[in-house]
């Protein structure tokens, strides 16, 4: 069995700064694995362990994602190897174009049984690349998955919908997007990271025609509600009473 796990590498949002003109400054933000994709990697690793599958990480982005630290970090999360397209024309692609490039990779990795995706990318959180990829590959897909059971030629997934829990049988090959509750992302240890350095990484040449379906008009920091920000030591004299009075006044 072969499991592909699609993950995005993007700038760490903890280090995005708001510049004086309200634009977002990414200059200090290092590339990381999109946080909820790490949960998908963990689930892939656990499924693979249970059935002796191979796990291949697949990712698409600008040349900035071809960064030795982030590649090692990804490979230290239970992947056997990594296949990527790192090309500056692949920076900030929309979901249709991203899926087209991932399709190029999946077709090269023919024979896969399952593609796992995360709950959504930290930047776009569109929850679209998984289903676009399934459509391009002609595979069934299911989202919001909280548990996966491997069976003969199919999987049984539990998914959390807005007001119900659904159990669905999905024939393989399939694309499944999982919620972070499916598996806790590991904190890679020294041994994982050292082993990761020896795992194969393959960079493919982009062979997909890309055309954007969406144009970004502007990106800026949102206007924030201005708040009083009166911060007190809780142990300070009358601090609790002051806050209690404010709560009473607001009700």
Partner 1 sequence: MTKAMVIAEHVDAARELCAGARSLADEVVLVAFCAAPDNCADRVAAVEVPSGCALDDAYATLIPFLEEEGPEVVLVEPTKRMKSVAGRLAAYMGTAVITDVAALEDGVARGMYYGGVGQRDQRPTTSCAMYTIQPGVFAECVPSGENQVVVLDWVAPAAALKVLSTTPIEKKGVDLTKADVVVAVGRGFGSAEELQVAEDLAASLGGGVGCTRPLAEGADLMPAETYIGVSGLVVAPKVYVAAGLSGQMQHMVGCAKSGLVVAVNKDKNAPVFKQCDYGLIGDVATVLPALTAALS
Ligand X SMILES: Nc1ncnc2c1ncn2[C@@H]1O[C@H](COP(=O)(O)O)[C@@H](O)[C@H]1O
Ligand Y SMILES: Cc1cc2nc3c(=O)[nH]c(=O)nc-3n(C[C@H](O)[C@H](O)[C@H](O)COP(=O)(O)OP(=O)(O)OC[C@H]3O[C@@H](n4cnc5c(N)ncnc54)[C@H](O)[C@@H]3O)c2cc1C
Alpha-carbon distance of 201 to 75, in angstroms, equals 9
**3-class SS at 195?**
helix
Any contact of residue 8 with ligand X (CB under 6 A)? yes
* CA dist., res. 85 & res. 60, Å (int): 5
Is position 128 an interface residue for ligand X (rule: CB under 6 A)? yes
- Report, in Å, the least distance between residue 110 CB and ligand Y: 31
The enclosing H or E element of 115 equals: strand 114-117
CB of 185 to ligand Y, least distance (A): 11
CB closer to ligand Y out of 32 and 100: 32
Round to whole Å and give the CA distance between 176 and 49. 18
Nearest to 5 by CA among 73, 62, 66, 74: 74
Q: How far is the CB of 110 from partner 1 (least distance, A)?
A: 17
CB of 89 vs ligand X, minimal distance in Å: 13
Q: Is 146 in the site for ligand Y (CB under 6 A)?
A: no
Residue 78 · residue 55 · CB < 8 Å: yes
Which span sits near ligand X by CB under 6 A: 122-130, 179-187, 190-198, 218-226? 122-130
Nearer to ligand X, 36 or 112 (CB): 36
Among 25, 35, 168, 201, binds ligand Y (CB under 6 A): 35
CA neighbours closer than 13 Å in the CB half-sphere of residue 218: 6
120 binds ligand Y (CB under 6 A): yes
Q: Which of 11, 33, 37, 170 binds ligand X (CB under 6 A)?
A: 37
Scanning 119-127, 135-143, 161-169, 213-221 for contacts with ligand Y by CB under 6 A, the matching segment is: 119-127
Q: Does residue 39 belong to the site contacting ligand X (CB under 6 A)?
A: no
Residue 144 as a binder of ligand Y (CB under 6 A): the answer is no
Q: If residue 45 lies in a helix (H) or strand (E), which one and from where to where?
A: helix 35-51
Per-residue 3-state assignment (H helix, E strand, C coil) for 50-97: HHCCEEEEEEEECHHHCCHHHHHHHHCCCCCEEEEEECHHHCCCCHHH
- Residue 124 near ligand Y by CB under 6 A: no
Q: Which residues bind ligand X (CB under 6 A)?
A: 6-8, 36-37, 40, 59-61, 95, 98, 102, 117-118, 120-121, 124-130
């Amino acid at each position: 069995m072969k499991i592909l796990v699609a993950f995005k590498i993007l700038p760490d949002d903890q280090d995005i700064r708001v510049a004086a003109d309200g634009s977002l400054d990414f200059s200090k933000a290092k590339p990381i694995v999109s946080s909820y994709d790490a949960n998908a990697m963990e689930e892939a690793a656990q499924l693979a362990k249970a059935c002796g599958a191979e796990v291949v990480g697949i990712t698409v982005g600008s040349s900035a994602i071809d960064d030795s630290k982030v590649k090692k970090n990804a490979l230290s999360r239970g992947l056997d190897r990594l296949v990527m397209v790192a090309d500056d024309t692949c920076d900030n692609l929309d979901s249709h174009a991203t899926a087209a490039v991932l399709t190029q990779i999946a077709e090269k990795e023919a024979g896969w049984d399952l593609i796992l995706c995360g709950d959504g990318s930290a930047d776009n959180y569109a929850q679209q690349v998984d289903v676009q990829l399934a459509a391009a590959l002609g595979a069934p897909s299911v989202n919001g998955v909280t548990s996966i059971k491997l069976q003969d030629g199919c999987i049984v997934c539990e998914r959390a919908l807005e007001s119900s829990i659904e159990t669905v049988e999905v024939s393989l090959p399939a694309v499944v997007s999982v919620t972070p509750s499916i598996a806790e992302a590991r904190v890679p240890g020294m041994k994982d990271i050292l082993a990761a350095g020896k795992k194969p990484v393959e960079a493919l040449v982009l062979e997909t025609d890309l055309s954007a379906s969406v144009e970004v008009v502007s990106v800026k920091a949102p206007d924030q509600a201005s708040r009083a920000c009166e911060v007190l030591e809780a142990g300070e004299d009358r601090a609790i009473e002051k806050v209690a009075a404010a709560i009473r006044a607001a009700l």
